[in-house]
Structure 1
Amino acid sequence: MATSDPPIGRLRSRIRQQEVVAKLGQQALESADLGQLLDDAVSAVIETLEADRGHVLEYRPEADVVAFRNGSNWSAGAGGSVISLENAGESTRTVIRTREPTSGTNLEAAPIPDDRSTGTKSDDLGATSEIVAPIGSADDIWGVLGVYTDDSREFTDHDVSFVASVADVIDGAIENYRTRRNGKAERSAGRMRPETDLETTVDRITDAVFGLDDDWRVTYVNERAQRLFDIDAATLVGTSFWEAFPSITGTEFDREFRHAVDRQEPTAFEAYFEPHSTWLEVRAYPSESGLSVYVRDVTERKRVEAELRENNHTLARLYAITADPELRFDEKVDELLDLGRERLGLEIGFVADIDREGNRFEIVHSKGPDERLRPGSVTPLSDTYCRRTIESDELLVLTDGPVADEIDDHAYETWDFDSYVGGQIRVDGDLFGTLCFADENPSERSFTPAERSFVELSTQWLSYELERQRRQRKLERVTAYTDAILDAVDDIFYVVDAEGTFRRWNETMEDVTGYAGAEIESMSPADFFAGDDRKRIGDAIAEVFETGQAHVEADVRTRDGDTIPYEFAASLLEDPSGTPVLAGIGRDITERRRQQRRLEELISDLESSNERLEQFAYAASHDLQEPLRMVASYLTLVERRYADELDDDAEEFIAYAVDGATRMQQMIDGLLAYSRVDTQGTPLRTVDLECVLDDVREDLQVHIEETDAEVDVGPLPAVYGDPGQLRQLFQNLLDNALTYAGTDAPRISVSAENEGDEWRIAVRDRGIGIDPAESERIFQVFDRLHSIDEYDGTGIGLALCQRIIERHDGEIDVESAPGEGSTFTVTLPAPPTTNTDIATARTTDASDPSNE
């Protein structure tokens, strides 16, 4: 039994152990079958301590060996085997050498004989914890009783005492067996054995022995009998037994002796011998010549048995008090104090709350006639016996007034307690107070170990119960705090068990639904929903208990029949007992749904507006291009037809007009391309960027050659995109790099870097660079950093690039500084790698208006 068991668990264990000892003791008295007793004793110890195996080993000192006599859960060949003491295991050697019981934990393997020789071979026991106790007295050890566990176990002192008590019972049974065997030998020898041999034999017997002839005269008395009855053999032998012991006439001794002689049958009994105030165990063996009587003083055993019965009764009452669910804590303490007063024979019992630092001693519970010790009375701690009690982990025990240095003279003069038993009460390791029993009169005897154990158990139970109450109060404070928080939130909070019963909820749930707490207690979650929502809620609850969490939206039906849209999120937790429960939050989404409907309306309006704007842009660009082409054509025609008539100014004006019309047409084309990025693109698919860059370089070949540019394209990946738009994207970026190269020949590089499910493509040049403050402006439509005289262009190229990247869910940015070149970086999605990714990409692309 582990030492960490709560007090009630230890109480049950001790009661059980004492019952086993009492039962085995009774069997030892009534049965002559020693082998059966040994088997029963080993089995009882194993069962009571929940051990794995046990045995009885007989020690044979003449050969310095141990023999396996009885055991449980050993190999078939173990019975009767013999092994030298040297190889019998450290614990067995220690017990035989010291005559004291021992226990151990995390042992090395203990050996056990496996043959019937006196060799040294042994099996590996494999035990990790054990108790081994001696069988026999300090002067005459018979053997050992051992019990073992396969798992690591920390046995208590009470466990060791229990095994030692069983070993004592076995020792008594062995003595009885020897006595009976000697009695049978005596009867079989009869009168043929010489008197001197008989006297020699009986003198060797440890029991008191005397013989009577057929006239009831004493024929012999051994030394043990002379000491027991305080008589001299010389004066006793030859006298009438009834004259020597007149007080037994008419007693059980008289009846049993005469019965044995009359029927010529042995008898055994126990009786109280009044002249010496002792209990005697008597065995009488009749013969034709008289009666042989063997007597053993069992007063101590009777005292122990009586103490054991009383202790069992006390422990049973203690258990009944502490385990009674109908009693309040104060009532339990009062009954415990009454029980302690009765058990210890002391008038007063009390529990005190102690403040060591404040020198304060306050009575919190008391029983008895002393008016000074009423609950609420306060005394300086220094004036009490408890000042000494709290200085030691052991009980403070007085039976006949305090001895030197035990109790201060002032405290003794104040209280005048000559009998006192007190122990500490600790709560979570800190001193709380004391449990004490006292009396002004000296005790007639010393307090027994069982009585001391009762006080120790009582202090342990009080400590355990006060710790439990402290934890309960803390839990109640935490619960109240948590409830206050949950009641303060606007969301619904609830806890539901696997049977669909509400275990907890906040006030918001009552306020929202209109149901009172008593009504909710009898309802299930489904009662708050109707139609398809009820099924969705049931499915969500099942999902939580299967997967651990779930989300669902449903309309809550109130007591008045109204419905409120709610979003519920729930997770699986464990309550303090370890039972799985569902804990969830419900949030009113009325406003969110209203905003969602408004957003959907706005999106619909925006889509309609965009569609109309696109139609307008297309129509406008188409209608504007025709007049521009006509203006440019007729101006060119005028220039050719009237070339001889036009002066230089007229030709210059015509050239400006044609150039303006051409640039206007380019701007309209750019604007049209910009407006069609989302509507005229092709479905996204896997695109090899190296192929795209090859096409771009081919398109820009003339420009590259004219500028003597060097374009270095590194290894490029496949991405997921619109091949046409990606070609437009990189053509614009490379064309800008060529255009804004400055006075030196352009040097351009294109590289790629993977970042998980996307690629970063960088286009670097060594051109004129861009002021960082203008890095956002360059992506605006028709917004140019340079005049048309400096650099040609429409001002829409980078805006178109940004629009293309946005369609691909990517980003475009620039790092640059004047005179140091620019690096444009775009992010593009990597191709889908799974069927799910492909399906998702196709779904996203299918929803794109550009695919219609």
Structure 2
Amino acid sequence: MDLETVLEYTTDAITALDREWKYTHINHSAELLLRRKEADLLGRSIWEVFPEVVNTTAEAQLRYASENGVSVKFEQFLPSLYGWHEVRAVPRENGMILFSRDISDRVRALRDEAVRAEIRNILKHAPIAIAILRGREHRFEMLNVMFHKLIGRRNVEGLTVRNALRELEGQGFFELLDQVYLSGKPYEGKEMLARYDRTGTGVMYEGWFNINYQPLFDTNGQVSGILSLYVEVTEQVLERRRIARIAAERDAILQQLLEGVIVTDAKGCITFVNEAASQLHGVATLNVTPEEYTETYHLYTEDGKLYPFSELPLSRAVLRDEIVTEARWRIRRPDGTEVLVVGNARPIYDEQGIKIAAVLTIRELESGY
């Protein structure tokens, strides 16, 4: 077998260029790599066939090799072929020989790995706790910084969730992971209570978390793991409970007062009516806005005219931040009876001076008033 035959059928793509950069020879492998027949390339300039190479590193390398008589090696992406080629250019007296091979798979694999590494780095430093679990046993593959903080920086990589956090048994988390893995469907939970050994000292910690379990799929579309995300909301839950407890205590106290008490939010929507106020009005409707006060609670002026809502004591406290004292008006109950009342209204502010509520206190005037 002569050299020409060997070069023709070698796995390397071999092309020859003359001193004017025109193709003079293309072997079979080069035809496959360049997706062009030899007859379509012979006599044509490389810059004409592949204009995307002009003004690139590839052109600079080829011209350097030609001008200096030295071999060069470089990698080049050809958009028209959507492929990466490794090229070795060897200058000769009447032109140049190019030895090329397709390295697209290798380059893409490296880039995919770089992308995966970048994604892992982003996940590692994300402001929420993240763990990647693999397999049916939910084995820890990756834990980010925030997740390590949740478990006292214990090293659990390689362990299954059931072995690493045995104290979670019976709290439903293992079963949820099994469900997501088997069904391939994500799960999202809000304010889920978890009791576990946070510091690794045997002391149980009680915390609330928003969780999200996302199934991970392999190239065959089968579930291979779970991306688990955790946001601790313990402080918010405890604060909400504290506020609710204070509100309940306040309501219990206000219910015991002989005076009627009505409380609104900052916009004037009624949020609380105590028993005395309910008895005076014959109704105790909540979520009533200032525009609806008169109609809902049947309020009239002393001389029996429908009370304009904007002039009501509670409306003035809400809408104009006024403090109203010893105002008088009539209430017409649903049973048709009327009562003359006197009341005070004022806005309520927090420590920063922001209005957060308004309150109205009322009492029935005795006979003869």
Structure in which a larger fraction of residues adopt helix: 1
Looking at CA atoms only, which structure, 1 or 2, has the larger radius of gyration?
A: 1
Between 1 and 2, higher relative CO (CA 8 Å, sep ≥ 6) is seen in 2
Structure in which a larger fraction of residues adopt strand: 2
**TM-score, reference length from structure 2:** 0.50
